[in-house]
Amino acid sequence: MHLNRYMKSLTNSKYYPWVVVALLGGVALLNYMDRQMLSTMKDSMQVDIIDLQSATNFGRLMAIFLWVYGLMSPISGIIADNLSRKKLIVGSLLVWSSVTYLMGLATTYDQVFWLRALMGVSEALYLPAGLSLIADYHTGGSRSLAVGIHMTGLYLGQAIGGFGATLAAAYSWNTTFYWFGIIGIVYAFVLAVFLKDKKRAAPEEAKESTPKKPQANVLLSLKSLFTNPAFWVILLYFAIPSLPGWATKNWLPTLFAENLGLPMSQAGPIATITIAFSSFVGVVLGGILSDRWVRKNIKGRIYTGAIGLSLTIPSLLLLGFGSSIVEVVTAGVLFGIGFGMFDANNMPILCQFVSVRQRATAYGVMNMVGVFAGAMITSVLGSWSDDGNLGMGFALLAAVVAVAVVIQLYSLHPKTDNKE
């Protein structure tokens, strides 16, 4: 009785939209932390699971997650647009945390492989639903900041996941998976109590017409989305920066090591901390700037995203050709701030062109394209790295980003900040 009274008071509070951001920020942290852990614990796990000593086999574990995650993203978006987002978020967290726990019990390569695939399915269900819910709770001048704060959870989770090897060395890789899994399972129950879904208003035409079957609604929604020219521009604008985004995530430690002549044990932490800290600054700065600018100019969010992407252009050139630690770290900071500003405004820009009933689906499609672009550029830069041209590859990405900025500025002309 007391809990019900407290929950009613909490959810009716003017501060509850920010409670939602905090709750989902925790989910975002666990999402990226659990997926990142495996890459750092290879050395510990391969002692017990011999097949992991093969780089090819380990690459397959990374690839199966990306392919399943990418393919599931649009499906998860469709589900989120048609079912309870709260149940989807809680359920996905519970499943991937259980998978994390089960990873600690794995004794064969095949078990790890299929658990990794299942993690791809469950983790893909979160982001479209989570961002859609935040966007619905923050319809006024706080949307970009809210999304930006939520994105810091992703960066923080990625950084914490990087310490998996340290915990595995101190205890064991099994124990590390157990405890991170238990933390997520407990948090899923906390979320079930404190998170409240927000009802979405039906479009006017849907109110006036006779009810349609769910399959018909889904098909009509997809038709409406894919015949929206602005969505295709946003999709391209999102996909192009995904190339340097994933390149930085997967290859920056190697680039630091090669350009600075540092061992990976030093280059890795420098690269990770540089990007994580500067991205945090970028999403907060980009969120505040965008929310203020859009009150005076409806293209404020687009201009903020363009400024962020423009900052990454000189940083990619400097990352490619810099040879001193000052040059390379400065480039990393500049890239993190710029990409953070871009990241904080993706969903808010989408909300200007895509209706509330299609946002999770739209973001799911965008996420799929971004992941597949990341898989492609990771492979391409791997070949360039073998040939000693990794720095040149980073520098060439600057030209690709410049194209995205031009497309964004000249093709996107919003008429509202929140399309119904």
Instruction: Mark whether 184 and 229 lie in a shared domain.
Output: no
pLDDT in tens, 334-365: 999 999 999 889 889 998 999 888 888 888 89
Instruction: Mark whether 316 and 356 lie in a shared domain.
Output: yes
Instruction: Mark whether 164 and 229 lie in a shared domain.
Output: no
pLDDT category at 205 given cuts 50, 70, 90 is very low
Distances (CA, A) of 265 to 269, 273, 418: 7, 13, 46
Question: 24 with 133: CB under 8 angstroms?
Answer: yes
Instruction: Mark whether 290 and 155 lie in a shared domain.
Output: no
> Of 161, 196, 231, which one is at a domain's C-terminal end?
196
Instruction: Mark whether 232 and 125 lie in a shared domain.
Output: no
- Residue 340 in domain: yes
| Better-scored residue on pLDDT, 133 or 37 | 133
Question: 301 with 352: CB under 8 angstroms?
Answer: yes
- Residue 88 in domain: yes
Helices (H), 41-54: 42-48
Q: Percent of the chain beyond pLDDT 70?
A: 92
As a whole number of angstroms, the distance between CA 408 and CA 202 comes to 30
Number of structural domains found in the chain: 2
Instruction: Mark whether 287 and 331 lie in a shared domain.
Output: yes
The overall average pLDDT reported for the chain is 84
Question: 263 with 257: CB under 8 angstroms?
Answer: yes
Instruction: Mark whether 189 and 325 lie in a shared domain.
Output: no
Give this prediction's pTM. Answer: 0.80
DSSP state of 51: G
Instruction: Mark whether 177 and 259 lie in a shared domain.
Output: no
As a whole number of angstroms, the distance between CA 78 and CA 129 comes to 9
CB atoms within 10 A of CB 14: 6
Q: Which domain holds residue 65?
A: 15-196
- Residue 201 in domain: no
- Residue 404 in domain: yes
- Residue 239 in domain: yes
As a whole number of angstroms, the distance between CA 309 and CA 402 comes to 8
Instruction: Mark whether 253 and 331 lie in a shared domain.
Output: yes
Question: 125 with 132: CB under 8 angstroms?
Answer: no
DSSP state of 140: S
- Residue 214 in domain: no
pLDDT in tens, 311-332: 999 999 888 887 788 888 888 8
Instruction: Mark whether 172 and 234 lie in a shared domain.
Output: no
Reference 73, options 95, 97, 94, 92; nearest CA is: 92
Whole-number pLDDT of residue 207: 47
Q: What's the mean pLDDT in 112-129?
A: 90
CATH of the domain at 34: 1.20.1250.20
Whole-number pLDDT of residue 213: 54
Question: 346 with 366: CB under 8 angstroms?
Answer: yes
Reference 65, options 37, 91, 90; nearest CA is: 37
Instruction: Mark whether 259 and 159 lie in a shared domain.
Output: no
Q: What would the two tokens of residue 37 be? A: 């852990």
> Of 196, 213, 239, which one is at a domain's C-terminal end?
196
Instruction: Mark whether 334 and 405 lie in a shared domain.
Output: yes
Whole-number pLDDT of residue 130: 92
pLDDT category at 189 given cuts 50, 70, 90 is very high
pLDDT in tens, 65-79: 888 888 998 888 888
Whole-number pLDDT of residue 206: 45
- Residue 10 in domain: no
- Residue 208 in domain: no
Q: What's the mean pLDDT in 288-302?
A: 93
